[in-house]
Amino acid sequence: MKIRRYKRVKASMEFYKKNFGFRAPYNVLIDGTFCFEAKEKKVKIREQLPNYLRSELNIVTTQCCIIEVENLLRLKKSLSGCCQILKQFAVHRCGHEGQPLTSTSCIMSMLDKGNPHRYIVASNDPSLRNLIRHTYCGVPQIFMVGVAPTLEKISPNTLKKVEKESNVLISEREVERLKEMKATLSITMKKSDLKKNKKKKKRKFKAEDVPSSSSLETS
């Protein structure tokens, strides 16, 4: 089962590499919900995520994600462990310093303009994952299932986009191929016309310039 699981992950990441420019080491953008689940299941994120993705990772969070957990911590002291885990990771500047957003809004803004940092989003927030799935194409998502980090299946929207772009690419290639064929055909026809003209000239010369046997006798 583990082998099949890793093969699926490898195939999915190859897909993202080929079609959306992902490269190792991957950037993983993590939120408080993922850290909470990891703490509850005693999962060591720094060890398990790189092992699962078979790659070195840059695991980052944002100030907005940290502030959101800190605010919740005032209501639920049980979130202290989650907050500590989240603060272990590098903080990527999100541009909301001084005016923090919810973690959902912050993460969505980080994915704008085609996910320029090629983030893999690690979250156990179903509403965020659903929003990403239906808003953006080519954004890998990881969530916790029990003690196992799990890469979400490639979304239908992402597959449709890749298929559409592949068809456009094929059409463009076909157009270029047709142009090449026409150019080749045109050159071939010109060469054929030249040969015909040469033959005509030769035949014309023979008919007019070569004297007949009767004219030779009279002379």
Is 217 a domain residue? no
Per-residue pLDDT, 180 = 74
Q: Give me the domain span that covers residue 43.
A: 2-153
In whole angstroms, what is the distance from residue 146 CA to residue 28 CA? Answer: 20
Closest alpha carbon to 144 in 124, 128, 121, 120: 124
Per-residue pLDDT, 67 = 96
Q: What is the pLDDT of residues 82-101, one digit of tens each?
A: 999 999 999 999 999 889 99
In whole angstroms, what is the distance from residue 128 CA to residue 179 CA? Answer: 48
**Running DSSP on this structure, what letter comes out for residue 91?**
E
Residue 25 CB partners (closer than 8 Å, separation 6+):
55, 56, 57, 58
Q: Are residue 105 and residue 178 in the same domain, yes or no?
A: no
Strand order in the sheet with 90-91: 90-91, 57-61, 26-30, 119-122, 141-145, 148-151
Closest alpha carbon to 7 in 52, 48, 43: 52
Closest alpha carbon to 45 in 104, 100, 85, 90: 85
Give the up-direction half-sphere exposure of residue 70: CA atoms within 13 A in the CB hemisphere: 8
Is 216 a domain residue? no
Per-residue pLDDT, 191 = 57
Per-residue pLDDT, 216 = 47
Greater confidence (216 vs 97) lies with 97
Q: What is the pLDDT of residues 27-85, one digit of tens each?
A: 999 999 999 999 999 999 999 999 999 999 999 999 999 999 999 998 888 899 999 99
Is the whole model's pTM more than 0.85, yes or no?
Answer: no
Q: Are residue 138 and residue 166 in the same domain, yes or no?
A: no
Domain count, the chain: 2
Is 219 a domain residue? no
